[in-house]
Structure 1
């Protein structure tokens, strides 16, 4: 039996595929290295927003955002289009469930989704994959996990975020008191979502968070924080709650925060990659 010889063309095609694959791997690694170096010096990703086709909210829903979210009104028209795209995408990727006869409306989804998009707008990865389900009660509810009445909580094992709708709205209706349930609980989601992740936004977030914790170890700064009473006492429960409370203040009264605690303000700004008007 005569053995068939391997076609030279086939060999050339295989070699070409291997070379292309190798070049692609080198290119990806090089871009990753460049971006990490860039983020080291500038504390932000090379890029944050890139979309093939932008999804757009209805005029009615755009009006809702302008009425309810000061953050959205501070964005440029181009940034607002990015915000809308992210909001539609976020809502489509999450399940919303009402409890105790609470009705999930489009307004409920917009309110919740816009909060998440607002906090992750400076991050490239915004879908918060550690979160799958959002459960809403009309009022405070009994937590089967902690066996106490709750206004809100995040369960990372069930990938579920739970809110009392009454208290959710209070956080947005009362401005500049630096207490916002939605922002607080979503920050817990973001903290879990960035833990041990290697994407550039997670790396920047984690690095800035470590630097923030180091600042807190300085006795003079810690005493200044406590004595100022600008942050409520709950902030000093643990480092997780500390960050969530700081971000509440960062969002609701950024100028006061910046004026009184510029070191902490700078780290929160780096963590969220906020380079927008008002921040």
Structure 2
């Protein structure tokens, strides 16, 4: 019964998303109204934000407002709280914070589940193999992202593990901006750097698979996952990443620091 209800809810959300046109805000960042209480919430929960200057924090919040105005966030089987939406918006802004302008044109809706889920998108506690914390949808879920609330909060609560599921998924969306998720950040990296980048990626993946790297094992499964996993590390522990992987740090800086 829970399965049928879940599918019905998802189909309704998909229908509503496809019927609605994506609204892109044209309000200049400096004119965006930012709720004052956001500042303390973000200081407490988002280390990336805490490290910014006061002026940068204002820009960060303005970009969050734009994202929330453009994107529908829906909670499945629980009541959505403000911090849920703020953490999702922060996850979206972090990878593109240094870009003068960026809209996730390949995203209309973020569905947030209460727990980890399986390949059939089931999150019932009785369901086995619920190991997925986030994914970027394809097919009938095109332009959708699905996140686990537990994974979302874990990514921000643990400030030393180099992992952040939501940032990981938004990096996949950046990768997909050229039409395909393939681990080659064509819209982020100048053409002459793509071959050197891939050569370095294969070298780093070999180290992961030989257990001689501190980059998470999942990054060794494909070029696609390597970009997202390395990107998590880059944003979560930048100083450590620069010290451990200076060449890769320079490459990702060229991608994300515009």
Q: Report the TM-score, using the length of structure 1 for normalisation.
A: 0.70
Q: Which residue of 1 aligns with 2:135?
A: 153
Q: Which residue of 2 aligns with 1:186?
A: 170
In structure 1, which of residues 57, 61, 70 is the aligned counterpart of residue 38 of structure 2? 61
**C-alpha separation between the residues in 1 aligned to 2:221 and 2:46?**
29
**C-alpha separation between the residues in 2 aligned to 1:264 and 1:82?**
27
Q: Does 1:83 align with 2:43?
A: no
Q: Which one has the largest radius of gyration? A: 1
Structure 1 residues 210 and 96, CA, compared in 2 at 3 Å: closer, same or farther? farther
CA contact (8 A) 1:56 1:81 kept: no
How big is each residue's C-alpha offset from its partner over 1:109-144, in whole Å with a ceiling of 9 and x where there is no partner? 111001111111112332211011100110122433
**C-alpha separation between the residues in 2 aligned to 1:260 and 1:202?**
25
| 5+ residue gaps, structure 2 | 1-26, 123-127
Structure 1 residues 129 and 210, CA, compared in 2 at 3 Å: closer, same or farther? farther
Alpha-carbon shift at residue 206 of structure 1 (Å): 6.0
How big is each residue's C-alpha offset from its partner over 1:194-215, in whole Å with a ceiling of 9 and x where there is no partner? 448xxxx964436455532121
Q: Which residue of 1 aligns with 2:242?
A: 258
**C-alpha separation between the residues in 2 aligned to 1:102 and 1:151?**
16
**C-alpha separation between the residues in 2 aligned to 1:142 and 1:215?**
32
Alpha-carbon shift at residue 256 of structure 1 (Å): 1.5
Q: Which residue of 2 aligns with 1:133?
A: 109
| 5+ residue gaps, structure 1 | 1-49, 275-279
Q: Which residue of 1 aligns with 2:230?
A: 246
How big is each residue's C-alpha offset from its partner over 1:18-77, in whole Å with a ceiling of 9 and x where there is no partner? xxxxxxxxxxxxxxxxxxxxxxxxxxxxxxxx9364313222111111111121122222
Structure 1 residues 192 and 260, CA, compared in 2 at 3 Å: closer, same or farther? same
**C-alpha separation between the residues in 2 aligned to 1:269 and 1:139?**
33
Q: Does 1:176 align with 2:160?
A: yes
Q: Report the TM-score, using the length of structure 2 for normalisation.
A: 0.75
Alignment RMSD: 2.6
CA contact (8 A) 2:32 2:65 kept: yes
Number of matched pairs: 218
Q: Which residue of 2 aligns with 1:122?
A: 98
Q: Does 1:213 align with 2:204?
A: no
